[in-house]
Chain A
Amino acid sequence: MPANNAAFSSAVTQNSIAAGPEMKEAQIRNPSSSMGKPSASTDTLPSDNQIGLLRRSHLLGIALGVAALMLTYAAHVNGRPITSAIVAVFGVMGVGALLGARAGLFAGLAASLTFNLVFTDPTGILTYSTADDLVPMIALTLSAVGSGVLGGRLRDRAIVAETATRRVAELLRFSEDLQSAVTLAEVERTAQAYLGDRPGRAWLFVETDGRLVSPTQSISGMDAAQDCWDSRLPMLTCGSCTGHMLKSADRPLGVLVIDDAAERQLDEIRVFLPLIALAIQRCLLAQQLGEADLLRQSEQFKTALLSSVSHDLRTPLAAISASASSMIELGSTLDEETTADLLDTIQEQCGRLDRFTRNLLNLSRIEGGLDVTEMPLIDAVEVLGGTLARVRRLARAHAIHREFSATSALIRADESLLEQVFLNILENAVTHTPHSTSVRVSAQVANMRLLVAVEDDGPGIPPHERERVFNRFHQVALNGRQSSGSGLGLSIARGFTELFGGTIRASKATEPLRGARVEISLPLAESP
């Protein structure tokens, strides 16, 4: 009886998923295309993954229904009415389990009807002549409907449980993402990403110094946020958006504005908002800690600067003061040579004070930032030569040798700052080496760079110190018993060199010298 067969299966399919057989065929032929696109039958189902899952279970359910019907029919034809009835009941249960309670109910009714009309004599009509006819009929109907509905409810529960698990997992992932967000902007991005597979957006506004501020300087949602904030209500709808107050245990933190389209999909809002509030609180705390840390660092910096400045100002002042007061005290009793020596000391130490104050001023220039592109083209070799002449006057006890293979090198730099670089490096070499040792200064051009190296014959710099000597106040920070110099000189030299696009590093001098080598590499200017 093929006609009845078709009726049975179509009853099942029409009631369960409200889709024609043609469409199902199309889905069988090309299942992947239907998985990506939400169709009319799945508009209440939120995720693509689940749509695919349901489609498969729909097809399975229909297949099971058809198979059960055929088996039932086969059993019936072969004179096994009990087997036939049991198979029918199991089939209905299976359909229910796969297609849901409603489908199970209809499958059960349809199976009972089909049984009555087709398999029991007389076929074609509903006949209940005796109680013996009626009781099995009712039993079959009840068990078919009952098992269909029960199976279906199990399946529905499973889907609800699965959906809930998925939501919890999503929330967990969201909470993990929030945990790793360290700035308010990241918190906002995380919230938007969570709402990302749903239409619409969310904007975060956090109270900062009495005002609502968007961490991403967003303007959209600002009005809604402000209205909600001013109203002090837990939530306030404003146009197509709703502002939600974000609260910590003791005070409101800010407002999360969610687009209504996004909000409709968001049924975990009661969990969603506290998670965001928590993340904001954490970010604010981290910010405060960071500020305190910065403050402490700048305090340390100030202490180091003051200690360094006081040392570097007082040492030359002490020499000047001692020399001058010696001359006042002893006056004419001093011989000519001693007097000249004392006067010399005064002059020399005044120059040292001057260089130190210049370094201090230049330090603030580095901090302020300078634009190298606005600097003129200068000849660095000429500047180096001039600096050398100055250093020779200051360091008469040292033999300074020059080995220039380059005669000129045009670079873009500030002349006085570049002189400061060379002066600091040379002064460093002179002050850290014993008298009557030699210092070698070389300059060469290679690969469009000017290389200036200053080598000495002093104790050298231990390898682990070679990078640290360029740190500001390195000497002070090292052991608090620095000998001379503030540790500013090399740090300033590095600051300026890098400003001119160059590099500066320390290494070991080449033979025959055995001390330190400081090498400055500066890029030559492109020829115009």
Chain B
Amino acid sequence: MIKKLLLVDDEPAIKRALGPVLRADGWDVLEADSATAALKCSDREVFDVVLLDLGLPDADGKEIISALRSKDPVAVIILSARHQEAEKVAALDAGADDYVDKPFLVDELRARIRAAERRLKEQLGSPKTLQVGELRLNVEFREVSLGGTEIKLSPKEFSLLTELMTHAGQVVTHRRLLIAGWSNPSVDQQYLRGYIAMLRQKLEEDPSEPRLILSEPSVGYRLAI
């Protein structure tokens, strides 16, 4: 099956720069330079991934995220030149899977696209075991092991790790983690920080310099893959 990607950006230079590398990765790339064109494209075709610029000439990219996702499972990755954390969080809360700040290296973008693909696949299969690198998590038996060694986690730590592993490689907002751990997004983020620190103690080689659970300041956390 050919993978389809929709690139929504009104900046010709970006499209010109990204086209070759995405096609080389095996993507069938379609381009749209406005929100209207993007919605029209998604009506006609089924995409696996949408790369979406927030600053479109006819609408804010945020406004079309839910419309893009409404029919088929699709991963929406935000390309943003306006690095306002509040805006990123709003886009992620509106249903975007991830974001990449402009300017970015193609490698970074490709990694995000791969993470999104992986998440899509897992979503379809809803596996009982999640694996990221050496880290393995069994949802059914609530077991976690790192390189074969079993790790004891508290129920909250387990919920948080499950959420991070489900979205491995993608950013997970504070809000989503709070819902996963506390079922309440208005809980003080201080608790979240505390639990993340405990998870790092148990999983990271050097908790003061985490390589597994990465912070995305003011937005959330990302489990490195």
**A interface residues, Cβ below 8 angstroms from B:** 307, 310-311, 314-323, 325-326, 329-330, 333-334, 338, 341-342, 345, 348-349, 352, 479-484
Partner of A342, one of B17, B55, B60, B61: B17
The B149-195 residues at the A interface (CB cut-off 8 A) are: none
Check if B20 is an interface residue, CB within 8 A of chain A.
yes
A344's nearest neighbour on chain B, judged by CB, is B16
Q: How far is B60's CA from A348's CA once the two chains are assembled, in angstroms?
A: 27
Contact A321 B13 (CB under 8 A): no
CB distance from A250 to the nearest CB of B (A): 42
Q: Which residues of A contact B102 (CB under 8 A)?
A: 314-315, 317-318
Given contacts A310-B81, A319-B11, whether A345 and B17 have CB atoms under 8 Å apart is yes
Contact B21 A341 (CB under 8 A): no
Given contacts A310-B83, A320-B103, whether A484 and B16 have CB atoms under 8 Å apart is no
**B interface residues, Cβ below 8 angstroms from A:** 10-11, 13-14, 16-18, 20-21, 24, 54-57, 59-61, 79, 81-84, 101-107, 109-110
Known: A345-B13, A481-B60. 16 other contacts (CB 8 A): A311-B81, A314-B81, A315-B11, A316-B13, A318-B11, A320-B103, A321-B103, A322-B14, A323-B16, A325-B105, A325-B107, A329-B21, A342-B16, A342-B20, A480-B60, A483-B57
Contact B81 A322 (CB under 8 A): no
Contact B16 A326 (CB under 8 A): no
Q: How far is B19's CA from A341's CA once the two chains are assembled, in angstroms?
A: 11
Partner of B82, one of A310, A323, A325, A352: A310
Contact B16 A345 (CB under 8 A): yes
CB distance from A103 to the nearest CB of B (A): 87
Given contacts A323-B17, A326-B20, A483-B57, whether A311 and B106 have CB atoms under 8 Å apart is no
Given contacts A314-B81, A320-B103, whether A483 and B10 have CB atoms under 8 Å apart is yes
Contact A319 B13 (CB under 8 A): yes
Q: Which residues of A contact B57 (CB under 8 A)?
A: 481-483
Contact A481 B13 (CB under 8 A): no
Contact A333 B55 (CB under 8 A): no
Partner of A322, one of B18, B54, B56: B18
Q: How far is B21's CA from A378's CA once the two chains are assembled, in angstroms?
A: 48
CB distance from B186 to the nearest CB of A (A): 27
Q: Which residues of A contact B84 (CB under 8 A)?
A: 307
Q: Which residues of B contact A316 (CB under 8 A)?
A: 13
Can you list 11 pairs linking A and B with CB atoms under 8 Å apart? A307-B82, A315-B14, A316-B13, A322-B17, A322-B105, A322-B106, A323-B16, A325-B106, A326-B18, A330-B20, A342-B20
B62's nearest neighbour on chain A, judged by CB, is A481
Contact B54 A481 (CB under 8 A): yes
Give the residue among A318, A348, A349, A484 with the most B Cβ atoms within 10 A. Answer: A318
